[in-house]
A and B are shown apart, each in its own frame.
Chain A
Amino acid sequence: MSNAQPPQPPSGVTGLLLVFSITALLVGVGFDLGAGSRVRFWIGDQPAAAAAVGVAGVLFAVLAAHAARAVLARRKPGEEGSKDAGSHT
């Protein structure tokens, strides 16, 4: 029996969110690269630095979610409710 994680159920809004995100990214990077007259004294002021920070932030979020689920998760809500740690079921 395989222990592989079952696939995430497809969401109808994935494509729409992707389009919005790509549009925002292109607009931001385009204007950033177009306006090249700023004084750049550190890496955060380089063109497209914000995009790199965004990707780094997402990597942090995903890794933190994996770590938190692996270390701190309790997967028995019924038991949790009996100990009054749950929220609402």
Chain B
Amino acid sequence: MPALTLNPGFVPIIAALLILAMPRTLRSPMIVATALASFWLLLDHKFGAAAAMAQMGLPVVLLNLDELNRIFGIALLIALIAIGIYSGARRNRYEDAAILLLAGSAVSALFVGDLISFVAALALGGLAAAWVVFASPLAGASRAGARLLIWQGLEGLLFLVGVAFHLSAGAQASVVGRLDVTTIGGVFIFAALMIRVGAPMAHVWLKDVVSHASSTGAAALSCFTTMLGVYALARLFPSEPLLVWIGAGMVVIGAFYAVAEDDLRRVAAYGVTIQTGICTALIGLGTPLALAAAEGHAFATILSFLALQLMLGALLERHGSVRLSELAGVGRTMPLSAVLLVACGLAVSATPGLVMFASQAASLEAAAQWDLRWLWAIIWVTPVVMLVALLLRPSLAVYTPTGEVKPILEAPFSMLLGAGLALFLCFAVGLAPRWLFDLMPAEISFQPFVLDRVTPQFQLLGAAGVAYLALRIARAVPREQSVSLLDIDALYRGPLAAAGRWAGVLGLRMYGAWQSWTRQTSRSAGQSLAALANACDRPYGPSGTAAVTFLCIGVVLLVMFLVR
């Protein structure tokens, strides 16, 4: 009898079913307990692959633990603990179940040891992510969920086709190694992962779903979706030069939108795209330091943006909006939340002492080893964009006084606690980054807190802050207005959708015309046959039609007989 192998991700999946029947008071502790149980399973196992089982002739490896997936697993399970604490103030059992299912499928995908199971876990995660969006009470969530389903369906299809080609070429499903992007199977899998990480042209799905999900759902989607793509790229396509360009494109596009968007949750989603782009580019470099930096940066991104999304969710819950143009006065009505929001802005801006600074320093060091000054410069400027978009603009907005006097209405305690925990971890890991570097697959003797790294960062952020505030005082900065920016999704939701509707109408009309023509033709043929049959019934009628017909048929038969 084969030994039972329990992937740490299976625990949240099982719990997702149980939580549907639980009372509200037990659901939040249940999520936290589930994450802790998964954590225990993760830390309890030794590195290595479990025995493969045969399913439909294919080997299935349910657990394969190594340094690469362990660091991602730890980050995702920490995120689940914070989300579990945070979700204590809500009453939505379906969303709780969806978040657990999403987390479970993401963690399962990390730890499975074969491509088939990986695709299955990704597909389950896609469905769960759509369920998270569908469970949101916000306007437009159902359509955003449907759009996400389309993206996830396309990704799953590409992945499945790629794996099928890969296996048909003679590869082993249970050997998950580096794939070649020049093979047909590799191309399909690469394309699927580009959708997952939000590469240029496919970057819109994340901001779409994050801005439509609930306060808790946005944080879960921010953590459990794109970072899985970073893991898969690090596993399947390390040292792929194309990734450097794609990652740089993600950074530029994300920066362009992040500094101009009004909706802070969209800004945060573009921020995730920027950081995912840095991870992608580093994976493309492929050196041991670059891969380690990419993993560390993914870890830092998960923690920092988790804290930020949780805080934004708390603001949304109480204030009703997280648009910068509507945040005036929040510093007075939600003083603690406003302070935490500023701290989250510091966390995502790679301020020295926070986790993002350590991973940013490692990323810069990795990029400097190559003759890619432009990539190095892009990574270096990223904290400035984050500072402007997610620290200075929100701070200035929430502390803008209003004439009205409103009572203090802080976010629920559990929300503050969950966000505070995530923020505390940003500080804790940031102040002791050796803990993070020791988790990485490569041995890194890297010290972020040296004068040559800390002082440029202070200069960078300080000069950026002074310059931005000076420009704002000089009224050179765009005024905060309630605007939505068109992105590439406007193309497929606008002209392309209209073209699709037009093509559909045209197709329906052509089909109708075809049906009408066949109906008329068959009717006239039937009438002719009926006339002929009537004529046959009356062969000696006045018109003599039947006699002529019989004569013609007889001539034809005679000719055929003679020719033969």
Interface residues, chain A, with chain B CB atoms under 8 Å away:
5-14, 17-18, 20-29, 31-32, 35, 38, 42, 44, 48-62, 64-69, 72-75, 77, 80-81, 83-89
Contacts and interface: CB of A to CB of B under 8 A. Distances in A.
B399 A73 contact: no
Contacts of B144: 84
A65 B451 contact: no
Interface residues of B, number: 73
A18 B466 contact: yes
Contacts of B389: 61
Contacts of A67: 260
B263 interface: yes
A87 to B, nearest CB: 4
B140 interface: yes
B388 A87 contact: no
A57 B386 CA distance: 10
Contacts of B397: 11
Given A10-B400, A12-B331, A51 B459 contact: yes
A28 B460 CA distance: 8
Contacts of A6: 479
Contacts of B460: 28, 50-51, 53-54, 57
Given A28-B456, A58-B388, A86 B484 contact: yes
B482 interface: yes
B259 to A, nearest CB: 4
Nearest to B456: A50
Contacts of A38: 452
B467 A12 contact: no
A82 B16 CA distance: 34
B478 to A, nearest CB: 5
B327 to A, nearest CB: 11
B381 interface: yes
A11 B381 contact: no
B396 interface: yes
B468 A58 contact: yes
Nearest to A71: B486
A35 B451 contact: yes
Given A17-B465, A54-B459, A8 B477 contact: yes
Contacts of B485: 68-69, 72-74
The 9 closest A-B pairs by CB, nearest first: A21-B465, A25-B462, A57-B384, A24-B462, A28-B459, A28-B458, A54-B463, A87-B211, A68-B260
Interface of B: 138-140, 143-144, 211-212, 255-257, 259-260, 263, 265-266, 316, 320-322, 328, 331, 373, 376-377, 380-381, 384-385, 388-389, 392, 395-397, 399-401, 451-452, 454-469, 471-473, 475-487, 490, 493
Contacts of B384: 53-54, 57-58, 61
A14 B473 contact: yes
B328 A9 contact: yes
Given A49-B456, A55-B467, A74-B486, 18 more contacts: A8-B472, A12-B331, A17-B392, A21-B462, A22-B466, A27-B455, A28-B459, A35-B451, A50-B456, A50-B460, A52-B463, A54-B464, A58-B467, A60-B381, A69-B481, A72-B486, A75-B482, A87-B140
A35 B464 contact: no
Max chain A Cβ within 10 angstroms of own Cβ: one of B260, B452, B454, B485: B260
Nearest to A23: B462
B458 A27 contact: yes
Given A12-B401, A28-B458, A81-B140, A58 B471 contact: yes
10 contacts: A21-B461, A24-B458, A25-B459, A28-B458, A53-B460, A60-B381, A61-B388, A65-B478, A69-B478, A84-B139
B484 A85 contact: yes
A87 B462 contact: no
Given A12-B400, A21-B462, A73-B484, A87 B263 contact: yes
Contacts of A42: 373
A69 B399 contact: no
Contacts of B478: 62, 65-66, 69
Given A6-B479, A53-B381, A68-B485, A26 B321 contact: no
A13 B469 contact: no
A25 B226 CA distance: 34
Contacts of A89: 139, 321
A77 B468 CA distance: 27
Contacts of B400: 9-12
B481 to A, nearest CB: 7
A64 B461 contact: no
A85 B265 CA distance: 14
A44 B374 CA distance: 11
Contacts of B457: 28, 50
B139 A14 contact: no
B162 to A, nearest CB: 32
A58 B477 CA distance: 10
